[in-house]
Structure 1
Amino acid sequence: MGLPASPRDLATFGNSIDITRIRYKDFKDLLWYLIFIKHVNRDLLALIVIVAWCMWFYRNKTRLGNPRQPSREILHKACLILEEFQLAHFRKPHHRQAQDSSWVPSTYSYYKINADAAIFNNSVGIGIVVRDHEGSVTAAMSKHLQLPLGPLEAEAKAMEEAISFAWDIGVRDVIFETNCSTVSEALNGSTTPPVTIVNLIMDVHHRLQDFR
């Protein structure tokens, strides 16, 4: 039986790559064997690395009291991560028509907090503006973080900072707003958050319970 042509084929490929009878000093030796002896293709090799990471990740969660994940679920999660990475890095850019992004005031007695982020060299700039229902600015904050984040991670971090800022100034009746559709959809539960921001999204979800 040959090697699978795509990452998802590994789910049905089973144990055709017999590596159980060989002892490896470390994970690097295993990768060396797969690359130079088995000539594993790049997609499958990437999937194997991600599976190893998922095993480490879920082992740590199990130590913290979370239920143990079956191997099929770990493989499924690894496939999703790889496909997500490939879509983000290898898809062709597409252009959309400009949409009206004018600010819309909140309903009476509620505040609206807008959070945004900008990327610099190995750092992130975060801006937060708090407005009342009439559109008047009641508070604002800018913050510079020495974190090498990508654009998506920076937007998620900005939302986390906005929640902390709202709590510090005593605002509870609030609508949080971001111009990042991926973060917004993940927080609304309409999509599964990308793996790079899943922990931030989970933290934001938890902290939002303290607001009305």
Structure 2
Amino acid sequence: MKAKSMDDAATSSIPSSKIYNNLWNTKVPSKIKLFGWRVIHNSIAVRGALAKRCMKVDSNFSCFGETEESLIHALAQFHEAHIVWYVSPLRLDIPCSSSLSFCEWYYSLVTNFKEKTRWDLFWCILWGKWLKRNAFVFEKRKIEIVDVMLKAYGLVGEFAKANEKRGVVGNSDQIIQTWSPPRLGFYKVNADATCFNANVVGLRVVMRDSIRDVMAATCCTMKGEFKIVVAGALAARHALTIAMESGLLQILLEMDTSILCHKLKNNIRETSTLGSIVSDILYLGSLCSSIEFSHVGKQ
């Protein structure tokens, strides 16, 4: 009852309709909305909550040191969780108060978040943090922070694209392929971009070797309104730059934009924004020991 009273006090000035509308109006998969509803109602089975229900579990989780595993600590205050929120485009600096509940933190965001698209990314990152925690608990497997970020960006962008009303597209863009490793000695660099509504584009890059090991990965955002093919070109240029800085010079650069891939393969340079970026990519490619370009459909 004490926890409930604290949460009631925190929400006294915020209409309940606004609290739930922020969740139900987000453009994310239904499973994430259901997860969000359970989080808001504090019904997620973290160890601290299970211990309070008199279940025989150790409320202190080794992943968090000697601290009790509470909802706010697992999803926001724990060191790695704190980093994810701070480096994300949301730029959230989480209060470290031990008395802060998740609901209190969430309600403060309801007041401060003005852009609806921020909620899409918020819930996808939160979902990724929960999956990361579960992978450690049940599989003793560590998911890297960058993978949490890439997955969250991907969920936002792919869900938006899946809900767009599109006309008929060419066969090359309808092909869906599975990822395959590069041949021995080469590194496959996958570059992708997601256009958000608030004049922001997210760039994602993952580099793997022939045995599927991740050699490097990065994600970042750029301000500006870009066509999807230009955003894809920006991602490809960023990917090639990071790969070369990492010492990877035998590269298979894979992208999901067939138009961009065609221009790169055929050395087509034009006087345009896209043409300028294509020229940059081709120049960087000329500095590599070997480079190939390929197109892969969205999965």
The correspondence of residues 152-167 of structure 1 with structure 2, limited to 5 A, is 152-167=229-244
Corresponding residue of 1:119 = 195
Corresponding residue of 2:168 = 94
Letter in 2 for 1:205: L
Q: 2:250 aligns with which of 166, 173, 187?
A: 173
| 1:99 positional shift | 2.2
Query: Residues 155 and 193 (structure 1 numbering): CA distance in 2 closer, same or farther, change over 3 Å?
Result: farther
Corresponding residue of 2:179 = 103
| Gapped regions of structure 2 (runs ≥ 5) | 1-165, 290-299
More helix per residue: 1 or 2?
A: 2
Q: How many residues align?
A: 121
CA deviations on 1:77-99 (whole Å, 9 max, x unpaired) are xxxxxxxxxxxxxxx93145642
- The 3-state SS of whatever aligns with 1:197 is helix
| 1:169 positional shift | 1.0
Letter in 2 for 1:178: M
1:140 aligns with 2:217: yes
Q: Which sits farther off after the overlay, 107-116 or 184-193? A: 184-193
CA deviations on 1:131-180 (whole Å, 9 max, x unpaired) are 00112212110111112212111001001101110111111111111010
The whole-number CA distance in structure 2 between the counterparts of 1:206 and 1:115 is: 17
Q: 1:151 aligns with which of 228, 237, 241?
A: 228
- The 3-state SS of whatever aligns with 1:167 is helix
Query: Residues 96 and 194 (structure 1 numbering): CA distance in 2 closer, same or farther, change over 3 Å?
Result: farther
Percent identical across equivalent pairs? 24
Query: Residues 133 and 193 (structure 1 numbering): CA distance in 2 closer, same or farther, change over 3 Å?
Result: farther
Letter in 2 for 1:93: G
- The 3-state SS of whatever aligns with 2:219 is strand
The whole-number CA distance in structure 1 between the counterparts of 2:271 and 2:257 is: 13
The whole-number CA distance in structure 2 between the counterparts of 1:155 and 1:95 is: 18
Query: Residues 171 and 143 (structure 1 numbering): CA distance in 2 closer, same or farther, change over 3 Å?
Result: same
Query: Residues 211 and 194 (structure 1 numbering): CA distance in 2 closer, same or farther, change over 3 Å?
Result: same
| 1:195 positional shift | 3.5
Corresponding residue of 2:156 = none
The whole-number CA distance in structure 2 between the counterparts of 1:132 and 1:191 is: 29
- The 3-state SS of whatever aligns with 2:177 is coil
| 1:100 positional shift | 3.1
| 1:203 positional shift | 1.2
- TM-score using structure 2 length: 0.38
- The 3-state SS of whatever aligns with 1:160 is helix
Corresponding residue of 1:187 = 264
- TM-score using structure 1 length: 0.53
CA deviations on 1:6-57 (whole Å, 9 max, x unpaired) are xxxxxxxxxxxxxxxxxxxxxxxxxxxxxxxxxxxxxxxxxxxxxxxxxxxx
Answer yes or no: is the 8 Å Cα contact 2:270–2:276 preserved in 1.
Answer: no
Root-mean-square deviation over aligned CA pairs: 2.1
- The 3-state SS of whatever aligns with 1:148 is coil
CA deviations on 1:102-144 (whole Å, 9 max, x unpaired) are 0121110111000000001211100000000112212110111
